[in-house]
Structure formats: structure tokens, C-alpha cells
Amino acid sequence: MKTAIINTPLGFTEIQGDENGVSKIHVMNEKTEISAKIPKELKEAVLQLQDYFEGKRTEFSFLINPSGTEFQKKVWQELLHIPFGKTCSYLELSKKLGDVKAIRAVASANGKNPLWIVVPCHRVIGSDGSLTGYAGGLWRKKWLLDHENPVKQESLF
């Protein structure tokens, strides 16, 4: 497993993966040293994340290979259908997956998403439009939603 650490506007970000794809991207709460050399298997992910933060990219095309249960992977796959600049509620997500009663399981799978930003769990909000739990912290979720807001004049929240 190869690792790279980059600095982003939201903190130091660790990227892990190999020739089968990127398996983990997460923001770290502590300061650390950024990678002096990026492994070739992670270069495209690093470039695309940098483009995203610079406002030059709205979709990711590098190979991903997250580890999780079949249900989690199904939820993460559905998250990929939430367009840049849009949000979806946990209830809507449960309905799209075919089981409105699975809302807690969907929320749990959303919270275990190993591919920060790329699988856009930050685009899932409460049914009342409120920001709800986010592993990276609600301030990061708000930042990401504002960053993706196509009408840059005002915050979505």
C-alpha cells in the first residue's frame, strides 16, 4: 500500500492506494509532514484533488478501490450520483437505494466512506436541510458545500 500526504485548505490529507486504485483518502486533524515524493500510483489522485480545491474540477476520474461491505459499497456507489453543487437527504438516499427503512444503515455507511470528497458523502444533509454529522467535522462539510455552490455569492448554510 502506497501513501501520500498533501496539504489542502481543510488540512493535511492522507491518500492510500496501489495499482488497483485509491482505497482511502482522509483529512487529518493533526499537522504532519507532506510527502516529498508522490508514488506513481497516487499521482493522478493528488493532481485531481489539487484541481478540485483550486476550483478547476467537479468530477474525479482516477481509479478507486474502497474496502467495505457490499451494502456500504452500494451506498457509496449511489453517493457518486449526487451532482457537484447539489445535496441529497439521508431519506432521499434511502429511497434511491430501495428501502426507506434503511435510513440508519445508509447514514452509517455514509459515515464510513473511506474516500473523502471523491465519494461525496459531504453532499448528504438532513431532511430538514440541516447540516448533520460529518466525520471530518461540520465546519469542513460547510466549507465543501460552499466550495461546490455554483452561486458563489452566498453560503448554502
**Among the listed residues 155, 157, 152, 150, the one whose alpha carbon sits nearest the alpha carbon of residue 134:** 157
CB atoms inside a 10 Å sphere around CB 90? 19
DSSP 14: E
Q: Phi/psi at 18 (nearest 5 deg)?
A: -150, -160
Q: Distance between CA atoms of 146 and 143, rounded to whole angstroms?
A: 5
Active site residue 88: no
Give the number of C-alpha atoms closer than 13 A to the C-alpha of residue 2, restricted to the C-beta side. Answer: 17
Annotated active-site residue in 121, 124, 125, 144: 121
Q: Distance between CA atoms of 60 and 80, rounded to whole angstroms?
A: 10
Beta bridge partners of residue 88, listed in sequence order: 124
Q: Distance between CA atoms of 135 and 152, rounded to whole angstroms?
A: 25
Q: Distance between CA atoms of 135 and 109, rounded to whole angstroms?
A: 12
**Which residues are part of the catalytic machinery?**
121
